[in-house]
Chains A and B, each alone.
Chain A
Amino acid sequence: MILDAQGIEMSYGALKVLHGVSLQVSESETFAIIGPNGAGKSTLFKVLTGERMTSAGTVRYRGEDLTKLPAFRRARIGFGRTFQVARIFGEVDLMTNVVISIEARLRYSGQSPGAWWRWTPAADVRLEAEEILERFGFPRSRWSDDAQYLSHGDRKRLEFCIALATRPDILMLDEPMAGMSPSDRKEMTKLLMRLKAETGITIVMTEHDMDIIFEMADRLMVLSYGEVIAIGDPEKVRDDPTVRKVYLGQGYQHA
């Protein structure tokens, strides 16, 4: 069990958003959280990544209790995440974006990112960054471009580079395909599937696009008004009558 959350509750002031949500994710699984808007997906996501602390319940990672652990500590033990709206380091170039992430990993895993007075990244750091950028389809000619001028889809891809440069064991993706063009989506799905096949990384994601969910997810959880109404493998969840009623009923026709 890589991730084990039990009885997560969360309120904003008087408004209770999560009512005792529990979920378990096993190693190398792709786990999707879906639900209509306002179901508490984002909040649950924030609790799992450490962006917010729970009001009640526990979060465990490979048996280790990290309920009270801040985000940066979770990142150091193996969490990687992307945001709904891609967040990158806009004012520096693509290369530096990835280098920052690699150096952070080295610094906090007992290795050294090089002496403090070295004004260029160490050769192996640079090599690794180049490899990552190339894999995600950024040609050499664009490595020194400012990241803030990237298109929406490119920002998303760069954010993946940043998140993967820390070599996470579990990748938390908050609507990874939101706002992407259909062709970008397809390409990204392929990229993620390949990554999974190569590294066996665990993925927890929220997503609106049902096609992608059914293509990628091993298991699925449906949230509604802060409660789990179904959990299991996608085919079963799809045929669940309560789920059909609250969500998939309309969602499927759209898709």
Chain B
Amino acid sequence: MNRIASIALLLLFAAFLFAPYLVNPGLVFIAGFAMIEIVFALSWNLLFSYAGLVSFGHAAFFGIGAYVAAATLRYGYDIHFILVLLICAVLGAVGAFLVALIVLRRASGIQFSVLTLALSQLVVVLIGYSDYFGHDEGISAIPRPVMNFGLFTVDLNRPLANYYFVLFVCLVAVGLMWLLVKGHLGRAMQAVRIDSERAEFIGIDAWRIRVFAFTISGAFAAVAGALLAPWGQIVTPEYVNWLHSAQPIFATLLGGAGFFWGPVVGIVGLSALNYFTRTFTGLSEVLVGASLIAVVLVAPQGILGTLRQLAKRRKGPVKGGHA
């Protein structure tokens, strides 16, 4: 990746790192949401940019994490919250694995997308039936956990601890995804996305790799969801809805598809847009809509793709760049 993009990403990281000391609590709250959405969007991009699968129902896995974490906190089960995060990851992985097992055998392309959409809407409908999960209103007034680590305790009721806990978990999740994607499994995934048939002829089982990618992606989406429960203190079916599934898609395309960091840039862009237009009813949608259209028309490679192109043009002859 070129220098401008790296610097921009470092600045962004610094902004997240020092946010509580730089801006008002309202913005810090938004920053926390943005970090959670970043993990969610990266988990989706893991599928899209590295395994070539377009899931329209990714919010379902986010929802699994969000609701399980919300229920354990709200109903007072005495489970260490780190353990809750891990349980959510496992549940997300199992859910995604089962979906992949059923769906990937039969469908690909648009059928795959629509099946994931339908399955996630099914989850929304099922949540609507459930007393335990609070029907359409969801689970609210979720208490924040206090975590005992032996040597020290982390009390998420303290704003700073809460923020840095979310930041820490997000960093770990992002780091794990980065390592996976850059490692040999990531390369195998990429081979399957670029040309699954070619990949099969060097011995890669494309189906297995896709199921694997989907499973991992589901796990990370669930972790993102689980973080939402203590941070937002309310979990509603809206987070499972297809409109929420669309969020990572836009973040990825806005930031630049094919880049690992694309969704990060995209989420920050979308969050900023939402923040600055929040007071005008309707206008925020108009602006977000208009900017999506503008990006598609003017910079279809997304923000990072455009930056890379600019850098290339300045440098002259094409010198290979790593995505």
CB < 8 Å A-B pair total: 103
Binding site for B on A (CB under 8 A): 49, 51, 70-72, 75-76, 79-81, 83, 87-93, 96, 99-101, 103-105, 107-108, 113-121, 144-146, 149, 162-163, 165-166
Please list the residues of chain B having a beta carbon within 8 angstroms of any beta carbon in chain A.
178-180, 182-185, 187-188, 190-191, 194-195, 197-206, 258, 318-323
Contact yes or no, B188 A91, CB < 8 A: no
Q: Which chain B residues lie closer than 8 Å to A70 at the CB level?
A: 200
Q: Can you sample 29 A-B contacts with CB below 8 Å? A: A51-B197, A70-B200, A71-B201, A72-B204, A75-B201, A75-B202, A88-B198, A90-B195, A91-B190, A92-B187, A92-B194, A93-B322, A99-B187, A100-B190, A101-B202, A103-B184, A103-B188, A104-B202, A104-B203, A104-B204, A107-B184, A117-B180, A119-B179, A119-B182, A144-B320, A145-B320, A163-B201, A163-B202, A166-B203
A103 touches B187 (CB 8 A): yes
What 9 pairs between A and B have smallest CB-CB spacing? A119-B182, A75-B203, A144-B320, A117-B179, A72-B200, A113-B184, A87-B198, A76-B203, A103-B184
B246 to chain A, nearest CB (A): 25
- A81–B188 Cα distance when bound, in Å, is 18
Residues of B within 8 A of A120 (CB): 182
Complexed CA–CA distance, A162 and B200 (Å) = 12
Query: Are B187 and A72 touching (Cβ within 8 A)?
Result: no
Q: Which of B182, B184, B191 has the most chain A CB within a 10 Å cutoff?
A: B184
Kindly provide the distance from the CB of A149 to the nearest chain B CB, expressed in whole angstroms.
Answer: 7
- In the complex the two chains form, what is the Cα distance from A88 to B197 in whole Å? 10
Contacts of B194 in A (CB 8 A): 89-92
A254 to chain B, nearest CB (A): 31
Residues of B within 8 A of A119 (CB): 178-179, 182-183
Q: How far is the CB of B128 from chain A (nearest CB, A)?
A: 39
Residue among B178, B180, B202 having the largest count of chain A Cβ atoms under 10 Å: B202
CB-nearest residue of chain A to B204: A104
Chain A residue numbers with a CB within 8 Å of B206 are 72
Contacts of B201 in A (CB 8 A): 49, 71-72, 75, 79-81, 163
Within 8 Å by CB of B318, from A89, A103, A146, lies A146
Cβ contacts under 8 Å, B188 to chain A: 100, 103-104, 107
Cβ A100 vs Cβ B180 within 8 A: no
- For B198, list chain A residues within 8 Å (CB): 83, 87-89, 162
